[in-house]
Amino acid sequence: MSAVARASVRGRVRRHFTLETAVRPHTLLLVGACLSLLAWAVPWGGAIPAPVRGFVRTEPLTLHGALFLLAWYAFFFAVALGGFELGRRIPVLRRAERVPWESYYVFLSILGLAGTAYSYAYVAAKSPHALSEAFLHHQFNAVRLVLPYSSGPQTLRYATCLGGAIAIFELGRLRFRAIHVVNVLLLLLSAAIASRASLIVAAIAVAGLAARHLHNVRMHVRTVVGMLLLGLVTLFLALSLLSYSRDADFYRSYGVRDPLVMNVDGIVRYLGIPFQAAVAVSNRVTRWPAAPASAAAGARVYLLPTYVSKSAPASVVRGENRYAKIVAIPASQTTNSVLAMTYGVFGAVAFAVLGLAVLVAGVIAGHASRYRSYVFLAGLVVAYCLAEWWRTYVLNQGFIHFLVLAVAFWAVVGSSVDRWTGGLWSRFTSLLLPEDRRQGWRRAPRRP
C-alpha cells in the first residue's frame, strides 16, 4: 500500500473513530451492557452479602438465552448507529452556531439554580422534618419522595446536570470562577434529592466536553490517561458521597461501615440485578407470547412522554412485572432491565416499538454532534439514555426531554437575547465569566 493510500485510510479512520466515539449513544449502550454483565458474572463470594448483592446465585445462562441477549443488544446498537448517521446528514441551524458557549452556560446555570432552590424550598414548606431526618439518618431518598413526580418548577433542577458538567470541565482546565463552584454545589444538591442519574448524566457530559476539547489539542497519551483516571476517581468519590447520604442505614444493617465499600457494593448491586433479570427472561422467551394483548397499550406508554400519557394501564403494569414470577429480585429494585420489563409487555414486538424510539434518539444525537456550539450537549443527554439501556427505559422521561429542549430553546433564541435586552445579557455574562469572555470563544471544528 502506498503512503498516499495509507494516509487516506488513516484519515477515514480518524473521521469515524475519535475520542467522541466513546460517548456516542451506540457506544455507551454496549459499555453499559458489558459493565452489567461483569458485575453479574464475577463470583463475589462472601465479599458482598447476598441481600446486598440482590440475589444468592446467578441465573444459569443457556445457549438460547445467550444468543437472544446478543441479538437484543446487537439490534439496538445497529438501530442507534443507523439513526446517528442519519442525524449527521441533517444541516445545522446556523443561528445556533452564533451563540457563545458562555451564553448556554449561564442560561443553564440560571435554570439549575431556580429549580434547586425551588425544590428545597418546597420540601422545607411541605415536610420541614424531612431535611433534618435526611441529614441525621442519611436517608435523602425520603426528601425525593416529598417532591411531586409531575412536571413543574422542580424539573428545572435537572439543568444542573449540564451546568455542573460545564463547571467541572472548566475547573479541570484550571479556570476558577465563582459560577463554577456554585454549579458544582448545585449539582451535588440536586443529585442528593434526585438520583445518581444526575451524576451519571454530568459525567457523560464532562467526558463529551473533554473529548471535543482534546480533539483539537495535542496531548501526551499519559496525560490523557491520567485525566481519565482522575475523572473516574472523582466520579467514584462523588457516588460514594451520594450513596452514603441516601442508603447508609441499609448497608450498616448488613455490617458494611466504610462509605467507599458501601459504594462498591451499591455499584455491584445496581449493575448486577438487571442482568440477572435479563438472563432469566432471555432463557424463557420461547415460552412467552410473541405479541401479548398489552402491546398496543404499551406502545402508548413507552412512546408518549411521561408528562403527556396517563398512568400505565393495568395490563402494562402486569407485563412489566411478569419477570418477577421467574426470578427473585429485591422489592426495592424497580429498574430491572429494559429487556425484562418490556418483553413481558410487548413480546417480540418490543424490537419494533423500542426500535422506533431508539432510531429517533439516534437521529437527535447524530444531528447534535454536528454543532460546534454547545448544542452538542443535547446529544450527550441522549447518550445517557442508551447508557442506561441495560437497566431502565428513560427515552420518554420528562427530565430527558427538558434537558434536550432547554438546549434547543437556547440554540434558537440565544442569538437574539442580547438584542432584546439591549446588551444586558452579554454584560451579565461578562460579569460572571470575565476572563473567559475576553479570551473569546474558540470553536471546535464541526464533524463532517
Mean pLDDT per block of 10 residues along the chain (448 residues) reads 49 60 93 92 79 82 93 97 96 92 95 92 78 62 70 88 93 88 92 79 91 70 67 76 70 77 82 91 88 89 86 87 86 80 92 96 96 94 95 92 96 92 91 64 45
- CA end-to-end span of the chain, whole Å? 26
Amino acid in the structure at residue 322: R
Q: What is the pLDDT of residue 139?
A: 61
Residue 375 and residue 407 in contact, taking contact as beta carbons nearer than 8 Å: yes
pTM of the model: 0.86
Q: What does the pLDDT look like over 285-337, one tens digit per residue?
A: 988 888 888 899 999 999 999 888 777 888 899 988 888 888 888 777 776 78
pLDDT on residue 44: 77
Cα–Cα–Cα angle for 320, 324, 326, rounded to 5 degrees: 120
Q: Are 105 and 433 in contact (CB under 8 A)?
A: yes
Q: Give just the sign of the alpha carbon dihedral 268, 224, 23, 12.
A: negative
Answer whether 357's CB lies under 8 Å from 302's CB: yes
pLDDT at 138: 58
Which residue ranges make up each domain of the chain? 15-433
Position 164 scores a pLDDT of 94
- pLDDT at residue 220, rounded to an integer: 58
- Residue 6, C-alpha cell as written in the block: 495509507
pLDDT at residue 280, as a whole number: 92
Q: Which residue, among 189, 65, 200, has the nearest Cα to 123 in the 3D structure?
A: 189
Query: What pLDDT is attached to residue 7?
Result: 46
